[in-house]
A = this chain, B = another copy of it.
Amino acid sequence: MANKKIIVIGGSSAGPKAAARARRLDQNAEITMFQKGPDLSMASCGFPYYVGGVFDERNKLLNTPTGVVRDPKFYWNAKGIKAVINTEITRIDRENKRVEYINHQTGESGQQEYDKLIIATGATPNMPPVPGINLEGITTLQSMQDADYLRNIRDEGKIKKAVVIGGGLIGIETLEALHLAGIELTLVELFPQLLSFLDWDMAKLIENYLKTKANVITQNGVAEFIGTNGKLEAVKLQNGTQIPCELAVVAIGVKPNIKLAREAGIEIGQLGGILVNQHMQTNDPDIYAAGDCCEIPNLITGKNVLAPYGDLANLEGRVAGENMIMGNTAKFPGTIQTGICKLFDYGAGITGLSEIKAKEAGFDFEVAVNASFDKPKFMGGQLLITKLIAEKNTGQLLGAQCLGPGEVSKQLAIWATAIKAKQTVEDIVCSDLPYAPPFSMAVDHSIATSHVMENKMRRFFKGINGPQLKEKLDNGDAMFILDTRGPDEYENMRLGIGETLIPVGMLRKRVEDLPQDKNTEIITYCQISLRGYEAAMFLQGLGYKNVKVLEGGVAAWPYPKEK
């Protein structure tokens, strides 16, 4: 039998992974990987950290763990994969099972046959369709060339002011990178909140934090880039504001690169990505697709989504690579859209559905917010705030959002594993996690969060979140608001919403200071609402019928506070 001919279109993440997996499973296959640009297997998620100076050696973005640059020579010598760079595939000829290519450096064109083909063409950054978009000083952070451009700006140190357009993952990572370069920054977001995969109340906590580092403008888009002599001088917003700047980085999402696929008659989904089955196979059984150019199912809703994440690209590529050789022995079941980013000393992320997405999907769900520490204070513990979503009748976990200076990544990894395993709140309540003081609290934050949710689902307490309480306050609802913290804490920072301070340790002695009417609505809280919960239980014991705990307490309050 003739050796199998495999063609891989794309050399960034999904492509190289598919090629490597195919090679390992078939040493005789002829594997060719075409890459449009000059670089292969770039660690593109690492670009912001190179730009920000976390490390200085550019090649670290291109190297294997042992320090070998992943160039065509490496691919051939170490893996027996022919990697062709600077070469674009211009057509997939399905009838004759071949591709047509052109080398943009040499101008040389040609064609090559395949038995199996994988499309891993990635995605292209969206650009706002406004005047001035081609001025010098406007860039994205998508390619090695973008990274080189921004790193050079950092190293030169000439630019003083920059605008980042888009408050998503990449926008915020870029903001941090340029801030580390000593540049004064403004972040502009079209939507009413940053990090649109989070709920508003969680995103607002991030926004409040980011405002200590940069100017943040939400609900305002770019109307025009203004410049003279072809050089950027200001960004003009939709509300007329002009922000002087010498640099603008656009990070308003990406769209799948599907032109090649569409022209070849490969099916495209409603979201604009290539449609694949669970084997990452397109409607042409000899053509697979993987990475940012595809649509994949969300495992909770069952509906397709675009999930342009580097980790999924690798996993999808691995599945497609195996299937091209073995014939659909491997499956990629889908995503729960886990995402995380570092922003200065905070982490923030989500796995599964947000409250908004759970509502859109028609779930009947409960929400719980928990604020607590990742480790004991004596071990330098830091705050974590988690918002957990679970289905009401079944208790099945639907989503978790987590943020704070604590170990967000570990929390999300726990929830991601649990959600993908279709665990319920009850399953987590008695989790057996690795505990020692250098690593976690005796009751880990994730378990404590499940306890809050369990107590809420079993109606042991009623909760209220920041936006719900704010609405009541704005409506002028009569309430007794009880801050159960200590006087020192109160002096240091308070909500300033008409609250009464009674430290939880004084509550039993100051029953007379509570409302006479047992039907009065009472809101209790403390810094993280553990003492607030304790107080609520006590008040319910006294016969108060309408007690609510402000979930997450002062720590999770997204509105201005008094100092």
A432 touching B410, Cβ below 8 Å: no
A430 touching B534, Cβ below 8 Å: no
A77 touching B505, Cβ below 8 Å: yes
User: How far is it, in angstroms, between the C-alpha of A426 and the C-alpha of B127 when the chains are bound?
Assistant: 39
B430 touching A416, Cβ below 8 Å: no
Is the C-beta of A362 less than 8 angstroms from some C-beta in chain B?
Answer: no
Q: Given A46-B379, A339-B434, A410-B413, A504 and B351 touching (CB < 8 A)?
A: no
Residue with the greatest number of chain B CB neighbours at <10 A, chosen from A60, A79, A410, A530? A410
Residue with the greatest number of chain B CB neighbours at <10 A, chosen from A372, A439, A538? A439
**Selected contact of A421 from candidates B313, B319, B423, B433, CB within 8 Å:** B423
B378 touching A27, Cβ below 8 Å: no
A279, chain B: closest CB distance, angstroms: 12
User: How far is it, in angstroms, between the C-alpha of A315 and the C-alpha of B505 when the chains are bound?
Assistant: 25
7 A-B interface contacts by CB (under 8 A): A27-B538, A65-B372, A79-B534, A80-B508, A336-B432, A347-B438, A414-B417
B43 touching A378, Cβ below 8 Å: yes
Q: Given A378-B43, A417-B417, A421-B421, A341 and B409 touching (CB < 8 A)?
A: no
- Interface stretch (choices A48-56, A108-116, A130-138, A202-210): A48-56
Is the C-beta of A78 less than 8 angstroms from some C-beta in chain B?
Answer: yes
Q: A347: which B residues are within 8 A, CB to CB?
A: 438-439
Q: Nearest residue in B to A527 (C-beta to C-beta)?
A: B66
Q: A423: which B residues are within 8 A, CB to CB?
A: 417, 421
Question: What 7 pairs between A and B have smallest CB-CB spacing?
Answer: A27-B541, A340-B434, A421-B421, A311-B435, A409-B439, A77-B505, A60-B378
A313, chain B: closest CB distance, angstroms: 8
**Selected contact of A341 from candidates B26, B420, B436, CB within 8 Å:** B436
User: How far is it, in angstroms, between the C-alpha of A318 and the C-alpha of B311 when the chains are bound?
Assistant: 38
Residue with the greatest number of chain B CB neighbours at <10 A, chosen from A311, A315, A319, A530? A311
Instruction: Report how many residues on chain A are interfacial, defined by Cβ distance under 8 Å.
Output: 110
User: How far is it, in angstroms, between the C-alpha of A540 and the C-alpha of B482 when the chains are bound?
Assistant: 71
User: How far is it, in angstroms, between the C-alpha of A61 and the C-alpha of B342 when the chains are bound?
Assistant: 31
- Interface stretch (choices A187-195, A219-227, A440-448, A514-522): A440-448
Q: A438: which B residues are within 8 A, CB to CB?
A: 49, 342, 347
Q: Nearest residue in B to A429 (C-beta to C-beta)?
A: B315
B538 touching A80, Cβ below 8 Å: yes
Q: Given A432-B336, A542-B27, A373 and B65 touching (CB < 8 A)?
A: yes
Is the C-beta of A354 less than 8 angstroms from some C-beta in chain B?
Answer: no
Q: Given A434-B416, A506-B77, A377 and B409 touching (CB < 8 A)?
A: no
B413 touching A54, Cβ below 8 Å: no
User: How far is it, in angstroms, between the C-alpha of A335 and the C-alpha of B431 when the chains are bound?
Assistant: 8
Q: A443: which B residues are within 8 A, CB to CB?
A: 311, 314-315
Proximity bits, A527-558, B CB within 8 Å = 1, else 0 = 11011011001101110000000000000000
Q: Nearest residue in B to A451 (C-beta to C-beta)?
A: B318
A107, chain B: closest CB distance, angstroms: 31
A396, chain B: closest CB distance, angstroms: 12
User: How far is it, in angstroms, between the C-alpha of A373 and the C-alpha of B376 when the chains are bound?
Assistant: 27
**Selected contact of A444 from candidates B54, B311, B408, CB within 8 Å:** B311
Is the C-beta of A332 less than 8 angstroms from some C-beta in chain B?
Answer: yes
**Selected contact of A433 from candidates B338, B440, B531, B538, CB within 8 Å:** B338
Q: Given A13-B442, A417-B414, A311 and B27 touching (CB < 8 A)?
A: no
Q: A337: which B residues are within 8 A, CB to CB?
A: 432
Q: A434: which B residues are within 8 A, CB to CB?
A: 338-340, 349, 351, 408-409, 412-413, 416
Is the C-beta of A68 less than 8 angstroms from some C-beta in chain B?
Answer: yes
Q: Nearest residue in B to A21 (C-beta to C-beta)?
A: B451
Q: Given A46-B376, A80-B508, A416 and B436 touching (CB < 8 A)?
A: no
Q: A418: which B residues are within 8 A, CB to CB?
A: 417, 421
A342 touching B43, Cβ below 8 Å: no
User: How far is it, in angstroms, between the C-alpha of A311 and the C-alpha of B339 when the chains are bound?
Assistant: 29
Is the C-beta of A128 less than 8 angstroms from some C-beta in chain B?
Answer: no
Q: A412: which B residues are within 8 A, CB to CB?
A: 433-434
Proximity bits, A292-319, B CB within 8 Å = 1, else 0 = 0000000100000000011111110011
User: How far is it, in angstroms, between the C-alpha of A139 and the C-alpha of B526 when the chains are bound?
Assistant: 41
User: How far is it, in angstroms, between the C-alpha of A46 and the C-alpha of B435 when the chains are bound?
Assistant: 11
A416 touching B442, Cβ below 8 Å: no
Q: A447: which B residues are within 8 A, CB to CB?
A: 315
Q: A338: which B residues are within 8 A, CB to CB?
A: 432-435
Is the C-beta of A460 less than 8 angstroms from some C-beta in chain B?
Answer: yes
**Selected contact of A431 from candidates B23, B420, B437, CB within 8 Å:** B420
